[in-house]
Amino acid sequence: MNGFALPAWLKVGGAQALAAPALIVLMLGMMILPLPPILLDLLFSFNIALSVIILMTSLYTVKPLDFMAFPAVLLMSTMLRLSLNVASTRVVLTDGHTGAGAAGQVIEAFGHFLIGGNYTVGIVVFVILTIINFTVVTKGAGRIAEVGARFALDAMPGKQMAIDADLNAGLIGEADARARRLEVSREAEFYGAMDGASKYVRGDAIAGIIVTIVNIVGGLVVGMLQHDMVFDAALKNYTLLAIGDGLVAQIPSLVISIAAGVVVSRVANEQDVGSQLVGQLFAKPQVLAITAAIIGGFGLIPGMPHLPFLLLAVLLGFGAKWAQRRVAEREQAVEAPAAPPATIEAEEAGWQDIVPVDTLGLEVGFRLIPLVDAAQGGELLKRIKGVRRKFAQEVGFLAPPVHIRDNLELRPGGYRITLKGVEIGAGEAHASQFMAIDPGMVGGPLEGESTTDPAFGLPAFWIEEARRAHAQALGYTVVDASTVIATHLNHLVTRHAAELLGRSEVQQLLEHLERDTPKLTEDLVPKQMSLSALQKVLQNLLAEGVHIRDMRTIVECLCEHAPQAKDPADLTEAVRAALGRAIVQQLFPAPAELAVLALDAPLERVLMGALQAGGSALEPGLADTLSDQAARAVQRQEQSGLAAVLLVPAPLRPLLSRFLRRSLPQLSVLSHSEVPESRNVRITALIGAQ
């Protein structure tokens, strides 16, 4: 026995997976193969037990999605009943002449004990059950499922937007958002499936009537023609069998129809149906007391049955008294904590009082709240989500979520953007207006409130929507308030990318790279350099506007140079040389020649001499001259429509980049080692030339 093991498909999970195929094979077998009466009894008993299990499960279900398999269960149970009808019909028509027990004891019991052996009563009871099931329970449950499916589909976009809003605001994580989206889609699919599954129950009721009529008519034909039975005996015998067969199938059908109605008609909360009924029907003492008085009045009317009405009135009176006692106990429990002891001391401060600072934050005035409220059609949340996606695609890592909150201290239309709790940008927007930005080549002025584009400082106007087409015709770039704020946020996030790259983001970058090249990341961190040193190198690249999308090249370069160089600045220069083609492509997207600024030869020799002498700072007079001439050269370069790029020898690049970055943030400093050999260089101006 020690060497024997069950196959994987026979273990617990596999056995459960075989339940549905086994049931389908069983149903097909019942339709094709003749079944003995004892097996029919077992299957009919199983059908009744299954219907009770389904009803009890639906009563103790808190939310409809907790019984998500109900549409499939409804289909399978319906097909099981129809298969039993086919099997029992075969037995009734084959052996029905032998007596009421020909089709098993279950059908005989329903034919004799439940309807008293009177086939007229059986027909009436069967018709009533069928009418109740077909016209009341099934039709109502199907209508509720249809309306529920329609409302679930209509509400799906709003629920998805609410989930996106909570995700962008940082209230939930990616896993929670994914689970909530899945729940919304499952809810719509559930109601749609219930709408279709209810048609099976209606078809089952119709099939039950047809099968019963066929059993009666076919039984009369078989009994009279094949077994020489007289009409009265054949009618009584086959009618009792047919009605018993119909009832033993129709009663479970009615039970499952009630279960379907319970599932689709309930409103989800944290209680099951029984707790809701008891807690809401019998919780108000006034209702019970008034009902007891009315029922007691009926019992005092002459000619009325006094005992049932008066007994029920007494029970309702005791129920009202019990409910009143429960209400008083709840009120005392609520009022008890309202009077704390007078000598209570102030609670000591704890670590829970420390509120973490949001990495990225957006605070808005009260007039801008509609822009961040998805229920009011606000588009800003969607734009911020697009900003994060664009940033991740262009820069190379995912920026932290933007936490949005209102701030009554701001101007009504004002907003401010914070980085680690410190303001890095602010502006003002009008929720119902558009900003017309002057790109420099417009055909005329506009009527509106004069302002400045907060992202790039271009002149602009706030205009009404009616003037939008006129502004576009004049050459203005017209955007709505959400786009203005999102563009400003995107500009600031890109500008402060180095500060947004923390240790957790670097770790996630390595884990993302490790999926494709696990050995590469293992060789670098922590064998050759620490995670903090890698973070510093990446921050140096981002501080100069270099994207870090090509993490594979960065890591390979660091693996090559980290054993010899430990200074992050030296490693940064090595990585820049490895990324030279990408850096040049970023600054000069077109494949044309590189139009750049350069240093005059004497100035270059002076700077090289100062660097070789160990100086890390420039002499004040030289620094002023270099700064002024670089500013004028950059201005001329931008007026010519060219990128502001300074090309210098590799040893000078770090020094000049640090020096010029503060006064000329738009100027990029390239080294000769970063320019690919396939690109031609054209010097447009020399800095330092007389």
Rounded average pLDDT over 355-380 = 86
Strand arrangement of the beta sheet that strand 434-437 belongs to = 449-452, 459-463, 434-437, 477-480
Q: Is the dihedral of CA 541, 546, 549, 552 positive or negative?
A: negative
Residue 101 has pLDDT above 70, yes or no: no
- How far apart are the C-alpha atoms of 256 and 57, rounded to whole Å? 11
Most confident of the following: 158-172, 197-211, 321-335, 670-684: 670-684
Q: What pLDDT digit, counting tens, does each position of 644-686 carry?
A: 999 999 999 998 998 898 888 889 999 999 999 888 999 999 9
Q: For 360-498, CATH number?
A: 3.40.30.60
DSSP letter assigned to residue 53: H
Angle between helices 380-395 and 139-168 (to 10 degrees): 60
Query: At residue 247, does pLDDT exceed 50?
Result: yes
Count the neighbouring beta carbons within 10 Å of the beta carbon of residue 70.
Answer: 24
pLDDT digits (tens, 9 = 90+) for 374-415: 777 778 888 998 899 999 999 999 999 999 998 888 998 999
- Considering 196-200, 260-264, 406-410, the range whose residues carry the highest mean pLDDT is 406-410
Output the average pLDDT for the chain.
Answer: 81
Average pLDDT estimate for 582-592 = 88
The confidence band for 272, taking pLDDT boundaries of 50, 70 and 90, is: low
Confidence of residue 1 (pLDDT cuts 50, 70, 90): very low
Task: Reduce the DSSP state of residue 664 to 3 states and report it.
Answer: coil
The secondary structure element, H or E, covering residue 190 is helix 174-221
Interatomic CA distance for residues 364 and 411, integer angstroms: 9
Whether residue 3 is predicted with pLDDT greater than 50 in this model: the reply is: no
Given a contact cutoff of 8 angstroms between Cβ atoms, the answer to whether 634 and 684 are in contact is: no
pLDDT for res 619? 79
Spatial contact of 215 and 89, defined as CB atoms under 8 Å apart: yes
Query: So where are the chain's domains?
Result: 29-144+196-273, 282-332, 360-498, 501-578, 591-690
Range among 7-16, 103-112, 624-633 with highest mean pLDDT value: 624-633
Residue 434 or residue 232, greater confidence: 434
Give the per-residue pLDDT at 684. Answer: 92
If phi > 0 it is left, if psi is from -120 to 50 it is alpha, else beta; for residue 435 that is beta
Please state, in angstroms and rounded to a whole number, the distance separating the CA atoms of residues 530 and 537. 11
| Cβ within 8 Å of residue 232, ≥6 positions away | none
Percent residues over pLDDT 90 in the chain: 25
Strands (E), 386-476: 402-406, 414-419, 422-428, 434-437, 449-452, 459-463
**pLDDT of the residue at 615:** 61
pLDDT digits (tens, 9 = 90+) for 206-220: 777 787 787 778 888
Segment 505-551, tens digit of pLDDT: 999 999 888 888 888 888 888 888 988 999 999 999 999 999 999 99
Distance in angstroms (rounded) separating the CA atoms of residues 543 and 55? 65
Q: What DSSP designation does 8 have?
A: G
pLDDT over 60 at 14, yes or no = no
CATH class of 591-690: alpha beta
The stretch 16-20 carries a mean pLDDT of 66
Least confident of 3-7, 176-180, 568-572, 610-614: 3-7
Mean per-residue pLDDT for 275-290? Answer: 72
Instruction: Indicate whether 82 pLDDT > 90.
Output: no
Cβ pair 543, 666 in contact under 8 A? no
Q: What is the pLDDT of residue 245?
A: 77
Give the separation between CA 638 and CA 115, rounded to whole angstroms: 99
pLDDT digits (tens, 9 = 90+) for 420-458: 999 999 999 998 899 999 887 888 888 889 999 998 888
Tokens of 368: 């801008």
**146 vs 451, which has greater pLDDT?**
451
Cα–Cα dist 655/384, whole Å: 36
Task: Kindly give, in sequence order, each residue whose CB lies less than 8 Å from that of residue 162, ignoring residues fewer than 6 positions away.
Answer: 374, 375
Q: Which of 151-155, 322-326, 413-417 has the lowest mean pLDDT?
A: 151-155
- Averaging pLDDT over each range in 151-165, 258-272, 392-406, which range is the top one? 392-406
What is the CATH code of the structural domain delimited by 501-578? 1.10.8.540
Q: What is the DSSP string of 61-111?
A: -SSGGGGTTHHHHHHHHHHHHHHHHHHHHHHHHHHGGG-TTTT-HHHHHII
Rounded CA-CA distance 467/439 in Å is 18
Between the alpha carbon of residue 676 and those of residues 423, 583, 670, 681, the distances in Å are 40, 10, 12, 10
At residue 2, the pLDDT reads 47
| Cα 143 to Cα 265: distance, rounded to the nearest angstrom | 10
- 342 confidence band (pLDDT: 50, 70, 90): very low
Find, among 321, 282, 284, 314, the residue nearest to 296 by Cα.
Answer: 314
Question: How do beta strands 434-437 and 459-463 pair?
Answer: antiparallel
What are the structure tokens assigned to 275, written together? 């707790």
- The beta strand positions in 259-379, using DSSP E, are 360-364
pLDDT of residue 66: 72
Residue 380 has which token pair? 């800003």
Measure the CA–CA gap between 676 and 674, rounded to whole angstroms: 6
Give the separation between CA 376 and CA 158, rounded to whole angstroms. 10
Nearest to 54 by CA among 67, 45, 36: 67
Given this model, what pLDDT does residue 339 score? 46
Task: Determine the Cα–Cα distance for residues 589 and 399; give it in Å rounded to an integer.
Answer: 25
CA atoms of 415 and 427, how far apart (whole Å): 6
Q: What sign has the CA pseudo-torsion 182, 183, 187, 188?
A: negative
- Identify the CA nearest to 31 among candidates 86, 104, 93: 86
Q: Which whole-number Å values give the CA distances from 368 to 314, 386, 427, 435, 479, in the listed order?
A: 61, 19, 12, 15, 16
